[in-house]
Each structure stands twice: as C-alpha cells, then as structure tokens.
Amino acid sequence: MLLNEIISAARGEHSVDVLLKNATVVNLLSGDIIQTDIAIYRDKIVGFGDYSAKQTIDVKGLYAAPGLIDGHVHLESSMLSPVEFIKAVTPLGTTTVIADPHEIVNVLGLAGLQYMLDATEYLPLDVYFMLPSCVPATHLENAGAVVTAAEMREWIDSPRILGIGEMMNFPGVLFEDPQVLAKLAIAGKKRIDGHAPLVRGKDLSAYIAAGITSDHESTDLEEAREKLQKGMFLMIREGSAARNLQDLLPLVTPTNSRNCAFVTDDRHPDFLMDSGHINSMVKDAVKFGIDPIIALQMASLNIARHFGLTKRGAIAPGYQADLILFDNFDDFSIRMVYKNGQLVAEDGNLVDIDIVKIPDPTQSIRIKEINLGNLAIPAKAKKIVVIEIIPNQLLTKKTVCAASIVDGKAVSDSSRDILKMVVVERHHATGNMGLGFVKGIGLTSGAIASTVAHDSHNIIVMGVNDNDILRAIREIQAMNGGQVVVENGKVKASLPLPIAGLMSGRPLSEVRSAVDQLNLEARRLGCKLENPFMTLSFLSLPVIPDIKLTDMGLVDVNKFDFISLFADE
C-alpha cells in the first residue's frame, strides 16, 4: 500500500473501506473514552469522525479497543496445533501473540521453529516469536536437540523474531557461562525475555545488567516490586498451573503500570474454554479495581511498545486496524474482532475465512525397551528425598521422609501420599531414566503419564505400583506421545499428542473433552489436584526451585546440581 493512498484516505479525498459508526473508543494514548466513528482503509486506521465509506457498520455504542496481545505464551502448552490455537483465541479478542516455541524446539530442534513459523504465517492473528535460548534448558537433562549461539545467530534477523526467549538458565548468567553469554550477545537491539523465579538482591541486579529486560516468574509482591524497581518489564502471569494475577495486581499503580503487562504463559484447553485468554485477565483486573484504561493498556499497548511493535496497541490514525468491540467492562463480552481491517470473529465465533494448514511433524518417541527391573529402586538408606508439590505453584519443596521398603526396594506409599516418579528419555533412545518420589498428588491407585514435561519433554510418569507405571509408558509409546491414566493394567483415559508429543490436531472442544476425562479418571484414582497433568508437566523442569527430577536424576535447583535420592541418616 502506497503512503499517498493512506494520506488521501485519511484526508477524506476518497472512500475508506470500513466506517465503524457510533463507537465508544477507549483511547489508550490520551487516556480517555470518546464517542466517534472509526475509519479504516485497507489494514490501517486512518481517522475518526465522518467519512465516506464502502461499508458502514453502526456498532450502536459498543466500546472499541485495540486487539489484545499476549506478550509471553507457549502455543504448544495449549496442546492444540497452531491452527487450532488461533481458532480458539481469536474470537476472545487476541489479535497478536509473542510466542516462545522452546517446547517444540526442545523436541525437534530448529526444525520445530520452522514448523511454527510456517504453521502461523497465514492465519487471522499475528504470531511473533522469541528465539529459544535454553535448548536444553540446563545441562541437567537430555532434550531432543542442542541449539547453539551460532545457530541462533542465523535466525535472529527474521522480522517475525522479536528477540531472545526466556533465559531460564539464570545460574549460567550469574556464573558467566561463555555459552550462555554468547546467546545473550546476539540479541543486539532486540529484547531478551527473563525467567528468574526467586532471584533477588545482587544476583537479580547482575541478571538484569546482562541485558535481560522482562520477567514473568514473580509469585509475590516483594519479588515483583524489586524487579520493577530495577527496571524489568513486569509480565503478570495467569496460566493454568501458575496463577499470579491476584497476588501481583496490588502492585500496579497509574504511575508504574506502563511497565506492566498481562501474559498467559501456559493455558490448557479447559482454562481457555472456561475462562478465556487475555480477555479474562482484563475482566478480572477491572473487577479487582484496576482502571479499565490501564487494564487495556496492560493487555495491548504496553506489550506492543516493549517489543517494538510501534503501530499496534492503540486505536489512532496510522495504527494497525486490529480492534475489538465489546459491550461493557463488567462482562467484557467481545462482540466483534477485526484483524488488519477485516472482521475475523463475531459473537464468539470465527467468520468464514480461509486458513492455510501445513503438514504436521510426526514420530518423536524413541525409547529403549523398558521392563519392571528398570523401575526398581534398591533401598540404600531408610530415608528418601521427596519432591513436595505446592498447590497452584510451579515451585516445589524438598522434603525428607522415611522410605517405604519392600523386599529391599524403596516403593510408593499411597497411605502417606508418596508416589514413585519416573522420567524416561524419549528422544534418542539412550535408556536414561530418572527415578524419584513425589508427595501431594493423592493417587491411591494406578498411574498417570505424559510427554508434556517441561522443558525437555521426556516421558514423565507417577504411580502407585510399577506394573501400572510400565503400562503407562508403553501406552505413551504406542500413541506416539500424549497423556494417559492407567489402573490395574488398563487404560482408563488417554489423549494422543502426535505433533512432537506436545500437540493434537483435533479441535479445542475435542481436546478439552479428552483432558476432562483424563482429570476425571485421575480424581477417581484419588488425585486431589485440580489439574494433575499440568502439575506433572513441571516436575521435571530443573530451573524452578526447589527440587525436580530429570531423566538424569534428582536435581536440587538451588544448588543447580544432582543430589542423592537417599538422605543421610
């Protein structure tokens, strides 16, 4: 589109394409709300007021705001293919996402990034990416690939890549690991996302001084306050497993809100269907007492400015014609969604538009043959180190418990809610297997397993007995990845995830139905967690304190090293 066309359209010298009449515009630039008409030419907003238009739509006083932006999300964590994810969130008002594809890149390498770029190129939503910085996340696990700084450098100049993805290896930054520093150096003027749970004081200062500009891992006010005071862009997260919105909103004020934004990080199908996407965070923030204009700034303009998307996040001449129309701030029911000047969703449904779909990658489960003997844990002491779950948090606690010993082997003890946990390397058939114990799940029978296991996405399984644990692993292998509940050797529920062991190609409603059945069966077996598979998926991530299990063994995250499963007497 030529610049002179935009100028002449804005001056009213020829008809615009669309005129949205009688809109109540939430102006995030001036901080006020005005009654006016919105003129759209091609994919741009060109003016306010009366214009001659090819199509005039009376929106009858509906509020108009810029399309919502998710500043940090892993599309793979929805367990939906990219196409199905976009179908799910576009009617909810999301018109742009900044995705970190480190889940699929940890499985498939940079071929996974290329797949995500290709799969999201021609969709009714803009998808930008951050270049995964931690593949694998640490040296304490085996992923499907290793991505070096040299390989990252070949991708950094892509216009759809906005910077370096979350630097989870904060010890590598603090200890000046040359490979980690080389990855940070390639960012240039682009952003570097952070991931620094519980990092405080001089360590936090050093982490920020290394060029890392944002963080989404704050779980309490004082941690978030320090990060904000030291110049970090504070991403307030409300995901399926980690829900920090209510705890962190008291920190937001009119004077600091420009440095705060909403992100989802990880949302499962049930959360997307029941609560929504970024729209749910806007609604909850307003209900909490945040000024509606500030809430919308945190959901769009602030993120756009942080990432250099200079013509997104506001309704004004020259801005991208990405906008939402909704009824009121209490319900925040989104009636229409426009992307690049085109109506793409109305009353919760996508309009009839062409969506280009590309072939999905297949076959990502490669394991050595496993038998019951491989799962046995010879008792080396009378006490064991146990991973204790903290409900609704990614953090865990290190707990020492008396071991249940049968025939010289440490075993699960469901009467004390202590279950065996196994992590099986599934990318290269190395035979690596981490064995440990977890407390806080509540299973009294059976086993649950998944190939969604951040960030290396090996097979993770926990259960009451070894027979069901082994059956679950074999079912995962037969499905080519996915999630399963097993009891007495029988599969009670399953969800195949054939796209890298992470995603299904099925629609949101079908995936949600399968997830509900998995959770229902897990609860029937005694599980007391709202979403056991989401919790399970983070128990092998060795960058979130205190203690995790990888395919290489039990990890003390604070020491950033392996520890023995058995405690000293």
Mean pLDDT, consecutive 10-residue segments, the chain of 569 residues?
A: 90 97 98 97 97 98 98 95 94 98 95 95 94 90 95 96 94 93 96 94 97 94 97 94 89 97 93 95 97 98 97 97 97 96 95 80 90 96 95 86 96 97 97 97 97 95 98 97 98 97 95 96 93 90 92 93 88
At position 301, the amino acid (one-letter code) is: L
At position 200, the amino acid (one-letter code) is: R
How many distinct structural domains can be found in the chain? Answer: 3
- Whether 422 is in a domain gets the answer yes
Omega prior to 546 cis, within 30 of 0: yes
On whether both 527 and 472 belong to a single domain, the answer is yes
- How do 126-131 and 94-99 pair as beta strands? parallel
On whether both 32 and 116 belong to a single domain, the answer is no
What are the helix (H) ranges across 435-530?
Answer: 466-479, 508-524
Residue 475: domain span: 372-562
- Whether 548 is in a domain gets the answer yes
Using CA atoms, how far apart are residues 386 and 461, in angstroms rounded to an integer? 15
Q: Are 234 and 261 in contact (CB under 8 A)?
A: yes
On whether both 14 and 123 belong to a single domain, the answer is no
On whether both 229 and 277 belong to a single domain, the answer is yes
- Whether 524 is in a domain gets the answer yes
- Whether 160 is in a domain gets the answer yes
- Whether 130 is in a domain gets the answer yes
- Cα distances (Å, whole numbers) of residue 32 to 146, 291, 332: 49, 11, 18
Tell me the three state secondary structure of residue 346. strand
Q: Are 496 and 482 in contact (CB under 8 A)?
A: yes
On whether both 13 and 75 belong to a single domain, the answer is no
What contacts 245, CB < 8 A, 6 or more positions away? Answer: 236, 237, 238, 262, 281, 284, 285
On whether both 100 and 218 belong to a single domain, the answer is yes
Residue position matching structure tokens 């969703």: 345
Query: 61, 88, 110: which is the final residue of a domain?
Result: 61
Using CA atoms, how far apart are residues 139 and 127, in angstroms rounded to an integer? 30
Using CA atoms, how far apart are residues 448 and 30, in angstroms rounded to an integer? 52
On whether both 395 and 514 belong to a single domain, the answer is yes
On whether both 470 and 532 belong to a single domain, the answer is yes
At position 356, the amino acid (one-letter code) is: V
Secondary element (H or E) of residue 183:
helix 178-185
- Structure letter (DSSP) for residue 568: P
Q: Which residues pair with 409 in a beta bridge?
A: 378, 406
Which candidate, 397, 388, 391, 380, places its Cα nearest to that of 419?
388
The pLDDT of residue 1 is: 59
- Structure letter (DSSP) for residue 67: P
- pTM passes above 0.85: yes
Secondary element (H or E) of residue 150:
helix 149-153
On whether both 135 and 206 belong to a single domain, the answer is yes
At position 566, the amino acid (one-letter code) is: F
Q: Are 412 and 404 in contact (CB under 8 A)?
A: yes
Query: 305, 325, 353: which is the final residue of a domain?
Result: 305
Residue 70 in tokens: 């998710």
CATH of residue 297: 3.20.20.140
- Whether 55 is in a domain gets the answer yes
At position 167, the amino acid (one-letter code) is: M
Q: Are 77 and 534 in contact (CB under 8 A)?
A: no
Query: Per-residue b/e over 391-424, b at no fewer than 16 CB within 10 Å?
Result: ebbbbbebbebebbbeeeebbbbbeebbbbbbbb
On whether both 143 and 101 belong to a single domain, the answer is yes
What are the helix (H) ranges across 307-451?
Answer: 372-375
On whether both 57 and 75 belong to a single domain, the answer is no
Number of other residues whose CB lies within 10 A of the CB of residue 534: 25
Environment class of residue 124 by beta-carbon count within 10 Å: exposed (0-12), middle (13-18) or buried (19+)? Answer: buried
Element counts in the chain: helices (H) and strands (E): 18, 30
Q: Are 95 and 55 in contact (CB under 8 A)?
A: no
Radius of gyration of the chain (CA): 24
Using CA atoms, how far apart are residues 520 and 523, in angstroms rounded to an integer? 5
Residue 569 in tokens: 């007497």
Query: 273, 305, 337: which is the final residue of a domain?
Result: 305
Start-to-end CA span in the chain (Å) = 74
Tell me the three state secondary structure of residue 48. strand
On whether both 205 and 254 belong to a single domain, the answer is yes
- Cα distances (Å, whole numbers) of residue 440 to 241, 259, 398, 418, 567: 15, 36, 12, 7, 19
Number of other residues whose CB lies within 10 A of the CB of residue 171: 18
Which candidate, 321, 345, 261, 353, places its Cα nearest to that of 6?
321
- Whether 81 is in a domain gets the answer yes
CATH of residue 42: 2.30.40.10
- Whether 508 is in a domain gets the answer yes
Query: Per-residue b/e over 372-387, b at no fewer than 16 CB within 10 Å?
Result: eebbbbebeeeebbbb
At position 77, the amino acid (one-letter code) is: S
